[in-house]
Amino acid sequence: MSESSGPAHRPSAVAGPWSVPVLFRERRPRVVVKADLLPAVSVVGVLTVLSFPLAFVWSRLAPAERVRIVAADGTQGALELESWHRFDDLAVFGFLALGLGVVAGVVVWLLRERRGPVVFLAAVLGVALAAALAKLLGPSFANAHYAIATPPAVGEVIELAPRLESWWVLLTGPLGVSIAYSLLATWNGRDDLGRRLG
């Protein structure tokens, strides 16, 4: 009884006719750090320089807040709905930074031989620095654009330069890089992200 039932329950040690023995397991690509450091520094530098055009474009697109002079000492009175432009200034800057992040993510992805987390993090850092510098430079450009040459008279309506009153808007740039790069990496689907040109 034990001899007849033994072979039925014993797993077969012989490989099937279509099985192929695996002698070497395929190695998964490792993260390249050292070779990508110099390109990563270049990416951070180039993206940081883009803070100047970002600040200039924002200073021209952001709407100014109109106020009325109500006293001889320059006291300002708010006009109806004009205070909403303070949010509009943040929204314009946020969309510009988000667009810069998306474009930077796509361009960095096109650097095929440098794809990976090192250059991706460099792009995130570069866009964050560009947005931070643009937040500091933008109001200066706007103040120069909306400068008042002569003291306004009582009852006159003047335009106040756009301003950025929150640092949270700086998150939109790195968010754009992350979304663009992550979508492209997911679409690629390769272990090495297609770094090998062959």
Average pLDDT over residues 106-127: 93
Cα separation values, 98 from 5, 40, 89, 90, 198, Å: 70, 20, 14, 12, 34
Would you say residue 197 lies in a domain? Answer: no
Would you say residue 191 lies in a domain? Answer: no
pLDDT of residue 119: 93
d(CA 181, CA 107): 9
Would you say residue 101 lies in a domain? Answer: yes
Average pLDDT over residues 163-192: 92
Would you say residue 192 lies in a domain? Answer: no
* pLDDT band, very low/low/confident/very high, at 157 (cuts 50, 70, 90): confident
Q: Residue 127 pLDDT > 50, yes or no?
A: yes
Would you say residue 161 lies in a domain? Answer: yes
Domain that holds residue 169: 35-186
Would you say residue 110 lies in a domain? Answer: yes
Q: Which residue has the higher pLDDT, 137 or 193?
A: 137
Would you say residue 125 lies in a domain? Answer: yes
pLDDT digits (tens, 9 = 90+) for 86-107: 899 999 999 999 999 999 999 9
User: Total structural domains in the chain?
Assistant: 1
pLDDT of residue 182: 94
Going by C-alpha positions, the residue among 185, 43, 17, 183 that lies closest to residue 118 is: 43
pLDDT of residue 129: 97
Q: Residue 27 pLDDT > 80, yes or no?
A: no
Would you say residue 107 lies in a domain? Answer: yes
Angle, CA of 184, 44 and 163, to the nearest 5°: 95
- Average pLDDT of the chain to the nearest whole number: 83
